[in-house]
Structure 1
């Protein structure tokens, strides 16, 4: 449809802005013309007639003017007003998340300046001014609330655009600065303040307002708030009933000065998790809300150990270097909670012993625990045993979900009783009726009555039986997944499906409540549904082979992206899908491996126990580099213990597994075991004629000798490795061995040879694009220059290495470089500066269980600290730790 000229379009705008109301000739005249003609009514009638000829049959003449009859949803400005009002109401009720959603939907309706390009009269000018002000006010309010909820980083681009478009709106600048501050970008926030300060001075001759000045002062002090976290599952939109329970829980968890713990227990499917999540969404905790499933009753999976739960919780807070000792993890968790006000949902707990290490030690945070068992032995805990719904609540829930008159049919009473008034069963039954408009409630009751084995199984069977055959197959196969949750690529591998098709099927299963979304793009099965799904699987071998092969293929990709110049290994997989997950780059590889780490470990165990021995050791091999650079030493050991059991009759696999496991023992300071494993690997690889692998093992053994200060032996091994690498044309292995031999030459006082080897290694690594090796060698260069007395050059090389390892998340090498940096600063007469990297090195080493670098950090701190007593403590700690490692 093409409208007429600007006057006709202005007339339509004036009518639309007052849709379904009478608009007078006088109003229309002042909307269309800046200076109306002598007799505007004639012109207006002409424009109206033209509009009616186009499509607008709903434009009617009424006494005194015209009215445009149209649904509200057809007029953006009216939808905008409705959404803004809904946001305002949600804000008044304290529901900030809903307010953010409504405001966001309202702002999305703006696609540019309203009525752009039209010459309009004073009435429309005033209306557009009001609309623009409303838009900007909502944008400011939306940004403020979203930032409070931890969503500020995604708004930075839009806020920059708005401040450029409306540069004198100080609130927009304030929210931009807040968003940058919460995103950990304080320098950019300070630059934004300077921009608005100069702008206001130039345009208005004034200074920024008090809010901007106060935030500026906080930024200069380094007073940065942590962004709020939220890992809660989404709230149930049609949550019904439980009024008394919510009131009781709310009274129990608010207004207390002590640590607040509330435990909800009850039978399976009674709605414990739903209630806890619903309450958690209603309560505001400034530093965020965390959720973790402890898997007390997950089929085929042991409950989560407290130490693993602590690992997941601490990583949810953004920490990456986690202590391996359980007591140290618990202490770190309590320390983090002492600085925050968090709400933590511990779902599906097996016992008080599982929960106790996860509790805060000081007031300020709230813990909600759900369990099938009563956790009365948890000290200071208020408990609530959740029963099935009352008949009235069950009927209300059923009617709410069904959504039409069938929900209030007399037969609904029988349906909810057949479901045992269990919320999960009622929800599934009602969802099935809603999706079948030809069914009656009595028909649903008959199906439940005649086909049930138990109330819940009847509902599961009913929901399952109504799925299309492909959906039934996929749902059944999902019961085989051994992880906490899964993504579409894993589901597609199980079902041998194209990912886009699988994504639609997963969403269909969500719609009928047979699958639960956890985060964007990830899903999980309720424990009871998982058991039911497993009962429907005809054969599990082939689907699990596809899933294991998916993990092996993707983990192998990740390793090649993280260490692109290293030796490439082919993986022996049975299932090579037409569609596979393709990792983009280094960062994507690390992100995927971190997300799937626990599932990958479980996959290695599954492969061992299920007889997929090739996949077991190859997946372990594919995970080794990631586990090493990210400091997951306990996981490194775990998967290699599994792999060793899988390779007893496979000598090449045994050789590679022993070679990779040897590095673990070196990393944790168990040097004799490291020597034994390396020597065994060298013998096996030599026997197999694998010169490349043998040279790699020689290189690894040299690291142990160098640590034990057996530098001559280390140099001999490395010279052998370099010779073999050059014979094979393996430039990556050659560069690694040259880098390592430079350290040995330096320790032996052969500085010219050390520099030549190190610079040669750097040149090779840069050519090969080996980021991690280059950073490691840059640190070696720094220490060679340090040994030669060239302190400033050494510091420059070490700072470059530190930036590089931090950029790629290599916490293992970062610990070493921090120690080197502290050592050089101290020797250069700057011990005060050395304290920061040395204390960082000590903290990092202890978190990743790097005992060697922890001992080094104590040694260097003993030389750097000014206080004699503190120096003595570090010296003693260093001596004891080195003694435990078996070296001076």
Structure 2
């Protein structure tokens, strides 16, 4: 490979470009842009095709994409025909391609880094650094993001996100400049900005503050009037609460609004400390949880709350709205904490957790006067003592956001025995003595829909079905709902149904769930990256389990680990809020599941596993399903097959299935059907038809028609591709049973005849006999008891006297009894059903015994002992399958 790729720089914050030479072909630039906005991630071939050709790709799309990839490799200085080398940038990785880019070589990566460090500096009160970093990040922009190329779904979504992020960064840079007293220099810039962004209330607020601090109070009030007119005339809405409060403060010349040096601006002891993020204007739901938390506030109930109740841990998975809840709670209960409310983020740059010392230092910077901060190198005990003295006697509410461990918190809490503390964390933090715990779940469906409507507006309110579907596709996760709502709001030309279709596209993964600086993937990745390697592997591979949930034995099969180690891993994932767990009934095993968006994340990360790992895991899971399905099928239909011996496994079938095979099949039906589909997709032909064969008895007993048809069509294709006539004939015979149950007699007869011919050619007397029984049942339900009797007799001859023919011979007794009944010989039918019941009892098939007994009772009551007004209106020809209206029934 050529080394000319070194020194290449990429730009997406403006026209797409690459130095030293940008590809001239438009499609190649689209490919480059798509890979750059997902730099260092695997982008699926399906996503790239969708991006290049939208909804109408050519038939040769996959081949043409490979051509574009080759052209891009040449532009990168790589020789497409050379084997992959360590310094190659563009890699072929399942399920598509990955472009490896150093953060220093991509303007977007540098922008993200500077934006993050600027925000952190702002939050720490270092406004000089914040303004410098944010200004430098904005200088990287040279125009509209991703311009110069057509936009498909990925680039369109990303463009909206980046432009929103650019504006948010600009707003924060201006806020930092205002903190530094640069209001005179800002007024001109802000006047231009509010003309460009007339609906950005934050920019209007900044302009009003800058004018007021420049001794232009009347101009500041006029700025509010212009903002209100734009919002009312164009959108039909009044300014938000924050802008209105600022207007009131300007009217009354609030002295706290005047600029002061940021260093002494921190409140002295005894003065209110207000360091909370803004309230969320469209906060939705959580009323019960807020009421529960409010009971812990001192003075909320009769008497003061004890100290042990002054720590509240708010838990829940990423994106569930823990921080938003904590801020809303703090603001609603501000009156109980007159000395202020303070929020401290417990993560620094690169998502690293602050230790106890760093947390105390950050808190002291909020609540002590300038110059009173501890000097560098102060040890933890002295820091704790300083904090204790700073908060003593003060009624404060502290929010510690995104805690990672008890060790991070204990020294901080010990130093503040009288401070009401709200802690948010994805971990349970059960080791904190005296803490109360409140776990937030996703929103109720009605709440999620209401939140969507508040974001999108009347367009979605008029289409409630689309709104409910979008909420469902978000898994009712508040962050995802906000992102989806913002994405739709930014696309006024899209309908709610169009947006729902985009979110439902599995090939897009989490890509649509990004809007501005709200990024569902980034939020979920925090929890994934902080767990250990073994847990990350488990998180990825367990996503291969068919939805909706899976038992521990399925997890053990996927991970190829013993039960105890598997259980430890999945429980650690539950503690980290990456898996959910439920118990279906007392005494029943636990079942595990993903939130739908966490499962998408796990599937996106599967390329981190070695080649072949996914295929091996799929094969192991299918083999485990097969082992237990065969055991359950043998119990459900005694005599059809022998009960397999599997008690030597880590999860013995007798323990997994128990003595209720029908219930086991019902519990695992979705997983079994999903495993059939996975096996077929992986080209595991033998496993496909074996799983299907094991399911046939359950499908027949429960009349599970849709899954019966879907799995057997896959199994039929698998048998044909593997050139296995025995498997093909068995599948055809089962499809005949399905067609017969659905009253499609001609099609059923065709299936049976085709399968019979295959069995005959293989000299398989048992299989041929079962096909004859099926043909006899068709004749029976066609009101032809005579031909049916002959077919049953032929089947009995083929079955012989061997043990492997016991179930077939019992089935023949059923058919002969029915021919007697439908031929007008009820006494012979009673005798025949008596023989059938005896044979079914010897077989151990309780379902057939009950069916035969019901038949005897009905014949006796409605035929033998009937009154002139009584008659047999219908006959049960198999358990749960009825023949209605045959003329012989009325004789």
For the criterion TM > 0.5, the same-fold answer is: no
The higher-RCO structure (CA 8 Å, 6+ apart) is 2
**Superposition TM-score, scaled by structure 1 size:** 0.41
Greater gyration radius = 2
More helix per residue: 1
Normalising to structure 2: TM-score of the pair?
0.41
